[in-house]
Amino acid sequence: ARVLGVTGAPGAGKSSLVDHLISRYREAGCRVGVIAVDPSSAYSGGAILGDRVRMQRHAGDPGVFIRSMATRGHLGGLARSSNDAIDLLDAAGFDPVLVETVGVGQDEVDVVKTADAVAVVLVPGMG
Query: pLDDT at position 47, please?
Result: 44
10-residue stretch averages of pLDDT, the chain, 127 residues long = 92 91 98 85 47 71 91 68 95 97 72 93 80
Asked if residue 109 is part of any domain, the answer here is: no
Query: pLDDT at position 62, please?
Result: 96
Question: Domain holding 28: CATH number?
Answer: 3.40.50.300
Query: pLDDT at position 72, please?
Result: 58
Asked if residue 84 is part of any domain, the answer here is: yes
DSSP assigned state of 57: G
Asked if residue 62 is part of any domain, the answer here is: yes
DSSP assigned state of 48: -
Cβ-based neighbours of 123, under 8 Å, separated by 6 or more: 9, 11, 12, 13
The residue range of the domain holding 45 is 3-99+114-121
Asked if residue 107 is part of any domain, the answer here is: no
Total structural domains within the chain = 1
Query: pLDDT at position 45, please?
Result: 45
Query: pLDDT at position 46, please?
Result: 44
Query: pLDDT at position 124, please?
Result: 85
Asked if residue 105 is part of any domain, the answer here is: no
Query: pLDDT at position 28, please?
Result: 98
Asked if residue 27 is part of any domain, the answer here is: yes
Query: pLDDT at position 106, please?
Result: 59
Asked if residue 106 is part of any domain, the answer here is: no
| Burial group, residue 57, by CB count within 10 angstroms (0-12, 13-18, 19+) | exposed
Asked if residue 73 is part of any domain, the answer here is: yes
